[in-house]
Amino acid sequence: MTSTASTATGPVSTRSRWVIASSNAGKLREFRELLGGDGGVEFVTQGELGVDDAEETGLSFVENALLKARHAARATGLPALGDDSGLCVDALGGAPGLYSARYAGGHGNAAANIDKLLTALAEVPETARRAHFIAVIVLLQHAEDPQPLIAQGVWPGRILSTAHGDGGFGYDPVFRPDGHDCSAAQLDPLVKNRISHRGLALASLKRQLTNLYANP
């Protein structure tokens, strides 16, 4: 191992296959839409390669995104993209936040998570229902990459009092993005991808990749 481990393998964009370190079908759909046709890179999900979920033991989104990417990179030998994301509600002190997927216990039951959120906010008036989605996306060239690329996106809005729409995933039916008069689940997927936390984080990651390998 040299001190230039992360660059010794050459520009990331020339590697042919990257693994997406997520098991969330909604996220994976958005990644495919957002990364489609990018620079000759082929994307494969960790599930397609038989990789199980990483344990999300971090105390921050960036730590969990790193844990996910490192787990998938180690298991596959491929560059890996990890996404840790969540919904932070001001009136709940930032909850469910890091624990958004596990809010109602278990893992990833969106209907139960939404029920719990609407119950917690039942007495909170519309003006005090501010919230934001956050996504941290990490790219590792390999499991020991000491120079991860890290990007973050934030999507501000408020929590509705009932669920609307059947697009998107997770908390989308109860999230009304600023500047839109509907829930995130009612947005055209192209619009969501352009303005969402995940879309912004991936755009930032792509800018970092371009800058990293641009000739001075």
Active-site annotation, residues: 84
Q: Rounded to the nearest whole angstrom, what is the least distance from the CB of residue 108 to ligand Y43 in the complex?
A: 5
Contact between 89 and 131 under an 8 Å Cβ cutoff? The reply is yes
Residues with Cβ within 8 Å of 20's Cβ and at least 6 positions away in sequence, in order, are 28, 31, 43, 44, 45, 46, 72, 80, 81, 83
Choices 4-12, 77-85, 114-122, 141-149; region in contact with ligand Y43 by CB under 6 A: 77-85
Look at residue 187 and give the partner it binds from Mg ion, ligand Y43, none, a contact being a CB closer than 5 to 8 Å depending on partner kind.
none
Q: Alpha-carbon Rg of the chain, whole angstroms?
A: 18
Residues with Cβ within 8 Å of 56's Cβ and at least 6 positions away in sequence, in order, are 64, 67, 68, 84
- Give yes or no for residue 169 binding ligand Y43 (CB under 6 A): yes
Look at residue 193 and give the partner it binds from Mg ion, ligand Y43, none, a contact being a CB closer than 5 to 8 Å depending on partner kind.
none
Q: Rounded to the nearest whole angstrom, what is the least distance from the CB of residue 170 to Mg ion in the complex?
A: 11
Residue type, 149: L
User: Which residue, 23 or 204, is less far from ligand Y43 as judged by CB?
Assistant: 23
Point out the annotated binding site: 22-27, 55, 84-85, 169-172, 192, 197-198
